[in-house]
Copies of this chain bind each other. A is one copy, B any other.
């Protein structure tokens, strides 16, 4: 990703899109930390084998689950996923790109220490946001065909 500036105005709009995700009981358990500071980025980069992505991204959004606001683990994680997806779609709509970093959860305690979050904040993901190159804009991902994952009325009746 090229290191061009991403305005505060855009970051706020991305976070707003995330915050409008649905959540069970409308509990909105997501919390965000915006990271641009190079020293903090470097510290975070050391928490994942994808550190290069972190260092090269002009903006990171660290997404947390506030366990104090949770009511049902499955539904809370779904809500966090919906929130992240809203942000990814918003990022794409702004002609930006993002990498959803999940491997960093293996070092979540270290990340939580670096970002000085309260005990109730559990790291969920880090979004590394930037301006994608033409090569990065190409979708190289594949999908299982819908026929293999969908049925009609009951399991077994093929699509």
Contact = CB atoms under 8 A, between A and B. Distances in A.
Interface residues of A, number: 60
A84 to B, nearest CB: 6
Q: For the complex formed by this chain, how many copies does it contain in all?
A: 2
Given A28-B143, A75-B105, A153 B35 contact: yes
A115 interface: yes
A31 B85 contact: no
A13 to B, nearest CB: 10
A36 interface: yes
Nearest to A141: B26
Interface of A: 12, 15-16, 19-22, 24, 26, 28, 30-37, 40, 72-75, 77-86, 88-89, 100, 102, 105, 114-118, 121, 124-125, 141-144, 146, 149-156, 159
29 contacts: A12-B146, A12-B159, A15-B146, A16-B146, A19-B144, A20-B143, A24-B102, A26-B141, A26-B142, A28-B143, A30-B149, A33-B152, A34-B153, A35-B153, A40-B154, A72-B102, A74-B77, A74-B124, A75-B102, A78-B84, A78-B124, A80-B81, A81-B83, A81-B84, A82-B84, A82-B88, A85-B86, A114-B154, A117-B155
